[in-house]
Amino acid sequence: MNWGNKIFLSLGVFMLCIVSAGIYMVSHDTDTLEDTDYYEQGLNYDQVYNKKENVVTYQAKPIVKISQDTLYIEFVHVANKGNLIFKRPSDSSIDLQLPFETNSTLYQLPISSLKKGTWNLEIIWKSGGLDFLTDQQLHL
């Protein structure tokens, strides 16, 4: 086999690999960095902004601590009701939403079943007739 055939064969194999990679990337379109409901989130941004502003205005940011296999959330006010949303940046298929309600300022949640690594915790709650929202990054 002469050098011309080798170059032609190498170029053919290279082009086949590039085309195969392109087909694979298009057919497996799972971009976890893009929210699937970004349009709805844009429409509701004013509500989200007001909830975040309530946290700052009323100095209601909860203190989040992890001790062993338990997540502790200490609220400023008593009688809190809302949702905890655990979002995994690397795999959105294991995201978790948990409702909670507490009559005191402390809420405890066992987290031993959560996968180890980085999580984004979004706390949406209502207390004293006001809506609040805060988010925080957790390392389990």
Residues of the chain with pLDDT under 70: 29-35
Residue carrying the six token digits 């390392």 = 139
Closest by alpha carbon to 136, among 57, 35, 62, 75?
62
pLDDT, tens digit (0-9, with 9 covering 90-100), for 112-135: 888 888 999 999 999 989 999 999
Q: Under a CB-based contact definition with an 8 Å cutoff, are residues 80 and 113 in contact?
A: no
pLDDT reported for residue 7: 93
pLDDT reported for residue 25: 84
Q: What is the DSSP letter of 61?
A: P
pLDDT reported for residue 32: 57
Is 0.85 topped by the overall pTM? no
Q: Which helix (H) or strand (E) holds 42?
A: helix 38-43
